[in-house]
Structure 1
Amino acid sequence: MTIFAASVFDATVIFEDKELFKGQGAASVWAEKLAREIESPVTPVKIGTGWALRGQVDGVDCTWGIHGQRLKRIT
């Protein structure tokens, strides 16, 4: 099962119309899961009042937030 199909049951916040992790701890746990999935380092990053995940896929910088309780790339 892909990590992108797993539900994110952690608290979230909305910042600039993007749903993000509320805490660094939850973001760190999901960063580890995502890193295993994409086989590339992923780190939690503070964006406004929340936390997103940042890493690279095929050499392209990507940022992930949450959409509908699933991880989703954001810009």
Structure 2
Amino acid sequence: MTIFAAPIFDATVIFQDQELFKGQGAASLWAEKLSKELEIPITVEKIGTGWALCGRQDGADCTWGIMGQRLKAFKRT
């Protein structure tokens, strides 16, 4: 099963219309899982009041948050 289909039941916050992880620890655990699936380094970054997953995929900077209890890539504003 892909990590993008796995439900995320961790606490979240909304910052600038993006749903992010509330805690750094939860974000770090998901970053490890995402890193294994995509086979790229993934870090966690504080964005406003929440934490996002960040990495570089196919030559482009990517940021992932949460949408509908699933990981979702989004554009940073």
What TM-score do you get using the length of structure 1 for normalisation?
0.98
Q: Distance in 2 between matches of 1:56 and 1:34?
A: 12
Q: Distance in 2 between matches of 1:32 and 1:72?
A: 16
Deviation readout 1:2-46 (Å, 9 max, x if unpaired): 000000110000001100000000000000000001000000100
Q: Distance in 2 between matches of 1:23 and 1:16?
A: 17
Q: Identity, % of aligned pairs?
A: 73
Residue 17 of structure 1 is matched in structure 2 by: 17
Task: Kindly report structure 1 stretches of 4+ aligned residues shifted beyond 2 Å.
Answer: none
Q: Distance in 2 between matches of 1:43 and 1:13?
A: 18
Aligned length: 75
> What is the aligned-residue RMSD (CA, Å)?
0.5
What TM-score do you get using the length of structure 2 for normalisation?
0.95
